[in-house]
Chain A
Amino acid sequence: MTTALSPGKIAKQLAKKFPEAVIEEGADSLLLKPESLLAVMEYLKTSPGLDFDYLNHVTGVDYYDYLEVVYQLTSLKHNHGLVLKVRCYDREKPALPSVYGIWRGADFQEREIFDLLGIVFEGHPKLRRIVLWEGFEGYPLRKDFL
């Protein structure tokens, strides 16, 4: 059974290394600051005991005040999982760091979030529209589209 690691424990572990990273511990997810995203992800992937080597998925949600990106991680070795979230409050030019360098599986998924929600991922080598065509106006998955 894939155990969902308790966010509280992980937050305590992270607080030792990255004091300011965690904003909020939800019931089953951790909310991080965008600036500390890359460092925390790298730590989660490489530290023994956590070993999150598999990125299940990256997805974006538009809550009217902010845009949220959700990451689901799994460790194939220990069979445990974790959900992390990042928020972006700027709707005009939302930007977040890309985890392409840590898990290549984020390649197409981040491009899709850029295409459909408009969030720019800095550090992604080829950020371009993927399912819609160049010249399409707007970002369909936003709540104010159509």
Chain B
Amino acid sequence: MTTTREIAIQTEPFVVNFGPAHPSTHGVFRMLTTLDGEVIVAMEPVFGYLHRGIEKLAEERTYGGCIPLTDRLDYLASMSNNFAYCLAVEKLAGIEVPERAEYIRVIMAELQRIASHLIAIGAFLNDCGAFQTPIVYMIREREKILDLFDMVCGQRLTYNYMRVGGVSQDIPEEFVPALKKFLKEMPGWIKEYDRLLKENEILLARAKGVGILSKEMAINTSASGPVLRASGVEWDIRRADPYSIYDRFEFDIPTGTAGDCYDRYRVRIEEMRQSLRILEQAAAQISPGDFRSEVPHLVRPPAGEAYGRLESPKGELGFYLVSDGSIAPYRFHVRAPAFINLTALSDMMRGWKVADAIIIFGSIDICMGEVDR
């Protein structure tokens, strides 16, 4: 976007630092933006303010003991992190998971997707200027999901629920009826959000056409998840490389056309609806059985390597594990979707104003625990 104007005064570009502590709910992320007037000319992200050394810490813990560490990576979607890690270890060690455990895992993963998208959309609308109102509505719904998780494993945020070979404990009897009650009410709430927000003038003016990520750029910068799908690429790991029992469920993959912030928001709303569809099918198909297969307490996978991945709410989350036959992983690497989605951020922001920068950043939906690890 170039602007031509009569230059009567000398102007110089200057740098504004969006410091690590800032009033949005995205975490400690710093942006060094070079501005020409109000227009952003260049942007450099600085992160590492939450680098806790999880990859190194995992090398001194056993395979089962790494699961609490994986919780704290993307703390808004802990169930997905646990799931991806268990997939990687099971691939490495060749462990089979019983069917009931698969259904429980899928139910937890899809509930987690809805909870994470609620916060993502709420925080995005917060940045758009709808200060606190939508996020309070969405936290109200998220509390219902957190109550379901509380019923199962006693925790609200970092669950540590999945284990290598299944889950840590069976779901109580009240769970499936409570889940069915939630599934009856939730579509009504999503309709309420649409009524308030879908055709909202302010949201359309602020988010439509802003921060466009083209299809080629999205593929070249290894974007994944809703960011990739909003740019028009229909790539979802649940369909492309089905893991667990996702090949038994019917669901659509919502994609956008323009790749702007509004499309990313729409993709997330539609994904919540598809998750509800999967949940209904899973709740109907679940049957009694074992919740965990017989696995030794200290798992010793044979020497080798494995890459287990899944579609987390933020994108393709994968764990690359290298084993040397002992009880602790030799190398534990996280393919963090939020970290890699940020590669395109400086290109998406060029040419927009300062106020749009916050919206573009919010629409990618990052979680600093994952970006910095």
Contacts and interface: CB of A to CB of B under 8 A. Distances in A.
Direct contact of A and B (CB under 8 A): yes
Interface of A: 1-2, 53-57, 59, 61-62, 70, 72, 76, 79, 83, 103-109, 112, 116, 129-133, 140-141, 145
26 contacts: A1-B240, A54-B219, A56-B222, A56-B318, A56-B335, A57-B222, A57-B333, A61-B331, A70-B320, A72-B307, A76-B235, A103-B221, A104-B217, A105-B221, A105-B222, A105-B343, A107-B221, A108-B339, A116-B55, A129-B48, A130-B48, A131-B48, A131-B51, A131-B372, A132-B51, A145-B56
Interface residues of B, number: 33
Contacts of A131: 47-48, 51, 372-373
B242 A1 contact: yes
Nearest to B51: A131
A134 B343 CA distance: 21
B367 interface: no
B55 A141 contact: yes
A106 B339 CA distance: 11
B53 interface: yes
A141 B335 contact: no
B89 to A, nearest CB: 17
Interface of B: 47-48, 51, 53, 55-56, 217, 219-223, 233, 235, 240-242, 307, 316, 318, 320, 322, 330-331, 333, 335, 339-340, 342-344, 372-373
B219 A109 contact: no
A106 B335 CA distance: 12
A57 B221 contact: no
A104 B82 CA distance: 29
A28 to B, nearest CB: 9
A55 B218 CA distance: 11
A55 B222 CA distance: 6
Nearest to A107: B343
A53 B220 CA distance: 7
A70 to B, nearest CB: 7
